[in-house]
């Protein structure tokens, strides 16, 4: 396409900018209906976009993708829409809805000159389509960034190591165990073992929805690493269905496992030579377990 034609088209746009903007805004009115974006904001965006589009074309930019400034501006619009929770098609409609008012103005300007009309329509269609695709691409990228950030946050949040007693740590696992998470879990657990001088770590998998061979392997790795550090592991919270599935799959966890975290904690206390006994009523009763006394848990 000749750059002269594009410049002429830009001149046409400049002379009728207000009219085009008004028509465009009326088609965009639907987007503000649910209050996610204010009318003034959309007006500002539309006006700036139209100006940037005109400048890009009057600059004699004959590429079909528009100037860098135009694309940057569209990127920021698209990114803000993604954050506001707009769907991809709603976001792209912002650009595509400009076609109708533009084409009407071109038709009015060219009158019966069919060839010029077809040429300009094609030029604008190509440009706007590219810009629309660019919008979608940025939108997609922004969504992916959001998802990635949330994923990082979840993996940080869901791997706390809790100190239950001197020398006893608990690791309540929530969510599916994949390789990346296992790595984080393992690092957290091992560092906590060093920091607390722990002898026993209880891995509670009540919050793990499924245990397949891969998850079991990850669990065993964690157990093996803790053992190398000199800490024993107890696995607790294997739900009945999961236990059945594991047996059917032939998955074997060759570690001490207990049904509930409470059982595991009791075993851990026994291992470090502690026990839980009821407080003596009236000071006359004897402790239930031999060798233990109420002060045993100090």
Partner 1 sequence: MDRIPILKLGHSLLVTIQVDMHDRLAMALEEDLTQKIVSSGAKGVLIDISALEIVDSFIGRTLANIAGVSRMLDADTVVVGMRPAVAITLVELGLSLPGVRTALNAERGMALISRRVAEADRDGAADAPDVHGDE
The alpha helices in the chain, defined as continuous H runs, are 3-15, 17-28, 39-58, 68-84, 88-96, 99-110, 114-157, 179-196, 213-228, 240-249, 261-271
197 touches partner 1 by CB under 8 A: yes
- Cα(266)–Cα(252) distance, integer angstroms: 23
> What residues from 213 to 232 belong to the interface with partner 1 (CB under 8 A)?
221, 224-231
Q: Given the rule CB under 8 A, which of 9-17, 46-54, 189-197, 260-268 is the region that contacts partner 1?
A: 189-197
* Shortest Å, Cβ 225 to partner 1: 4
* Shortest Å, Cβ 222 to partner 1: 8
Closest CB to partner 1 among 118 and 224? 224
Cα dihedral across residues 27, 32, 36, 40: positive or negative: positive
202 touches partner 1 by CB under 8 A: no
Using the 8-state DSSP alphabet, how is residue 257 labeled?
A: E
Closest CB to partner 1 among 87 and 191? 191
Per-residue CA distances from 158 to 61, 154, 217 (Å): 51, 6, 20
How many CB atoms lie under 10 A from the CB of residue 201? 29
Closest CB to partner 1 among 225 and 253? 225
Closest CB to partner 1 among 102 and 185? 185
Q: Given the rule CB under 8 A, which of 22-30, 71-79, 182-190, 239-247 is the region that contacts partner 1?
A: 182-190
Per-residue CA distances from 133 to 139, 142, 146, 160 (Å): 10, 14, 20, 42
* Shortest Å, Cβ 227 to partner 1: 6
180 touches partner 1 by CB under 8 A: no
CB 82 within 8 A of CB 139: yes
Residues of this chain that bind partner 1 (CB under 8 A): 183, 186-187, 190-191, 193-194, 197-199, 221, 224-231
């Amino acid at each position: 396409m000749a750059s002269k034609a594009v410049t002429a088209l830009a001149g046409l746009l400049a002379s009728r900018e207000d009219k085009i903007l008004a028509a465009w805004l009326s088609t965009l009115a639907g987007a503000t209906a649910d209050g996610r974006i204010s009318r003034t904001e959309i007006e500002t965006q539309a006006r700036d976009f139209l100006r940037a589009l005109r400048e890009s074309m009057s600059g004699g930019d004959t590429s079909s993708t528009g100037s860098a400034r135009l694309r940057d501006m569209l990127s920021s619009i698209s990114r803000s829409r993604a954050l506001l929770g707009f769907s991809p098609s709603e976001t792209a409609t912002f650009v595509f809805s400009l076609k109708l008012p533009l084409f009407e103005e071109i038709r009015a300007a060219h009158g019966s000159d069919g060839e010029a009309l077809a040429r300009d329509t094609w030029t604008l269609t190509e440009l706007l389509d590219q810009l629309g695709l660019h919008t979608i691409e940025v939108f997609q990228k922004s969504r992916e960034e959001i998802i990635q950030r949330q994923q990082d946050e979840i993996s940080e949040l869901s791997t706390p190591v809790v100190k239950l007693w001197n020398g006893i740590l608990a690791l309540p696992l929530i969510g599916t165990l994949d390789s990346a998470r296992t790595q984080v879990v393992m690092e957290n657990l091992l560092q906590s073992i060093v920091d607390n001088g722990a002898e026993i770590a209880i891995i509670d998998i009540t919050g793990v929805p499924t245990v397949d061979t891969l998850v079991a392997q990850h669990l065993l790795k964690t157990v093996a690493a803790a053992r190398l550090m000199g800490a024993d592991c107890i696995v607790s919270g294997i739900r009945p269905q999961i236990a059945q599935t594991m047996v059917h799959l032939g998955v074997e966890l060759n570690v001490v496992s207990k049904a509930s975290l409470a059982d595991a904690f009791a075993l851990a206390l026994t291992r470090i030579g502690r026990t839980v006994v009821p407080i003596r009523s009236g000071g006359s009763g004897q402790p239930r377990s031999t060798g233990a006394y109420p002060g045993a848990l100090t």
